[in-house]
Amino acid sequence: MLEKLKEEVLEANLELPKRGLVNHTWGNVSGIDREKGLVVIKPSGVPYNELNIESLVVLDYDGNVIEGNLKPSSDAMTHLVLYKAFKEIGGIVHTHSPWATSWAQACKSIPPLGAAHAEYFYGNIPCTRKLNEKEIKGDYAAETGRVIVETLSGVNPLYMPAVLVSNHGPFTWGKTPMDAVNMADVLEVVAMAAYRTYTLTPAIRPIDTVLIETNFAKKHENFQKSL
């Protein structure tokens, strides 16, 4: 079942440690088959060097295991909430990459300070509000997804393919699982550069709107919307 998607999800998961985006088992990639309404995701707690096609888990939209003998990632419900809300996306990544996670733990969005940021992310890379006690004690993973959706209300998810979850870490997405990995990689570099820029110049301001739009248009055809 879903052999091609499984191969894509496996390849994308194995790319995370190669790019230095995960330590231990702290991260996961998923992909979705929209026609079948099924999601393939990394299992919970499996080291990347032991990951294979057979270890991947297939879920339906409600989180029921359709195929696989292992427990799905603890972030699975976050992924499912995002897939339901963002119809344009086909792959999701969650990591605890250190630079992006530093901003998330500080509960700070990443402002656009340069061209590289502006090519991939249209404006501030947002940080969610903190979850309240009821949300944390409830379905934590699903509530994490809901607060991401809340944060990006009215935003094209392909124009802002990343978010920082307060006190947690980054989620990124794209049209495919590997697209989502690429966004996670870009986000980490942007987060590092932004931190260093503020270290050098604490009073730095975001770049001008015209520079944001000019650079963003390079990688996004038919882009017209203004900030």
Q: Roughly how many angstroms between the first and final C-alpha of the chain, as a whole number?
A: 43
pTM of the model: 0.95
pLDDT for 34: 97
> Strand, helix or coil at 202?
coil
pLDDT for 227: 46
Record: fold of 3-219: L-fuculose-1-phosphate Aldolase (3.40.225)
So where are the chain's domains?
A: 3-219
Report the C-alpha gap between 172 and 157 in whole angstroms: 10
pLDDT for 222: 78
Mean pLDDT for back-to-back runs of 10 residues, the chain (227 residues)? 95 97 95 97 95 97 96 97 98 98 98 97 97 97 98 96 98 98 98 98 96 92 65
> Strand, helix or coil at 142?
helix
Distance, CA of 145 to chain centre: 11
pLDDT for 1: 81
Q: Is the CA virtual torsion 139, 142, 145, 150 positive or negative? A: negative
pLDDT for 225: 59
Residue with tokens 């501030």: 124
